[in-house]
Amino acid sequence: MSTIDRLDPLEAKILAHLQTDGRSSYTALAELCDVAEGTIRKRMRRLESRRVVRIIGVVDPVAIGMDTVAVVWLRVERGRLTEVVDRIKALQETYYVAYTTGASDILAIVRVPSQGELITFLTKGLGSIQGLTEMETSMVLRTCKQSYQWSPWSSKMAFSKPKAEEADELDGVDWDIIRYLQQDGRMTFVTIADALGITESTVRRRVTALLQSGVLKVAAVIDPTRIGFATVAMIGMKVERQRIDEVVSVLSAMNSVRYLALATGKYDLIIEVVQESNEQLLDFLVGTLEDIPGIVRTDTHLLLKLSKETYDWGVAKEVSK
């Protein structure tokens, strides 16, 4: 079982600032939080060592042409579940893979450059895996909230997207820099420059341009299970068509909603919800959702274990070594 860390007000404040600017210096964070820099360093070491938070570079998938997304619901032959999950999470196209209960055994979220490549992935990638018995795909039309934007406090406090400037075409150096920041979003310019054999000023200029263009965001990704949100569920919804925008707006503002997508297929909306217990999830299902006008039906898939969650879509193909 994961060790649970209850965030105190200072830690919540530090993480909220980092979700706005993941590369804020310790000095800047100390001034914003009105504490000593040494206190910030100590808290950050504690949060990272206990895996409460990861600070990583996340590329805007739309900006790099990785804008075809699908949620895939899978059924597996009895006795082959672990084997199949291992095969699916090894596929580069999957960035989210979980064991589930309900109508499916496995849920995977896939991101590829085009619908043609999605078809190839479904037929040749997943299709080549022995043990799969059923597969149902929901195409994502629009991702309204990403899991790396989530926090247990007000989303308005936690996430703000800077006004993007026009981005230049990315070259190999840009991709190399991104790859290092995906490992550690606070990696120093000096460290990256030494690794790539270029000047610190070049790295600084490139990172600044990537951040200002909106192509790259340095995100503070909080693990909900590490701070007491042990119950995670993926919920598919049918919604009255004329009220979809209204329902999206309400759900997006909820602290318990970690992921939200507008989809095709059997669901109009797909959300990932985090709660502290099964009882609270039940309250959310029969209380909160029931009170939202426009929701016609919901199907709940309880996530037993999150096997893969990554945000490095597309980079491996772009960086030539």
179 domain residue, yes or no:
yes
197 domain residue, yes or no:
yes
CB 248 within 8 A of CB 304: no
Handedness of CA 262, 310, 45, 174 (dihedral sign): negative
Residue type, 295: I
CA-based R_g, the chain, Å: 20
Express each pLDDT in 238-278 by its tens digit: 999 999 999 999 999 999 999 999 999 999 999 999 999 99
Provide the residue range defining the domain that includes 207: 162-213
Burial class (CB in 10 A: 0-12, 13-18, 19+), 87: middle
Q: What DSSP element (H or E) covers 210?
A: helix 200-213
Q: How far apart are CA 29 and CA 27, in angstroms?
A: 5
H runs (alpha helix) in 67-109: 81-89
Residue 72's nearest CA partner among 49, 91, 56 is 91
199 domain residue, yes or no:
yes
For residue 143, how many other CB atoms are within 10 A of its CB? 19
167 domain residue, yes or no:
yes
Q: Would you say residue 96 has pLDDT above 90?
A: yes
Domain count, the chain: 1
| Three-class DSSP category at 10 | helix
219 domain residue, yes or no:
no
Q: Residue 163 — very low, low, confident or very high, per pLDDT cuts 50/70/90?
A: very low
Q: How many helices and strands in the chain, by DSSP H and E?
A: 12, 10
| Three-class DSSP category at 260 | strand
| Three-class DSSP category at 311 | coil
Handedness of CA 148, 151, 156, 162 (dihedral sign): negative
Report residue 65 as tokens.
């042409």
Q: How far apart are CA 14 and CA 22, in angstroms?
A: 10
Express each pLDDT in 31-70 by its tens digit: 999 999 999 999 999 999 999 999 999 998 888 888 899 9
59 domain residue, yes or no:
no
Between 316 and 214, where is the model more confident? 214
Express each pLDDT in 271-318 by its tens digit: 999 999 999 999 999 999 999 999 999 999 999 999 999 998 765 444
CATH number, position 201:
1.10.10.10
292 domain residue, yes or no:
no
Q: How far apart are CA 280 and CA 289, in angstroms?
A: 12
37 domain residue, yes or no:
no
Indicate the pTM of the whole model: 0.88
Residue type, 166: E
Residue 284's nearest CA partner among 245, 258, 256 is 256
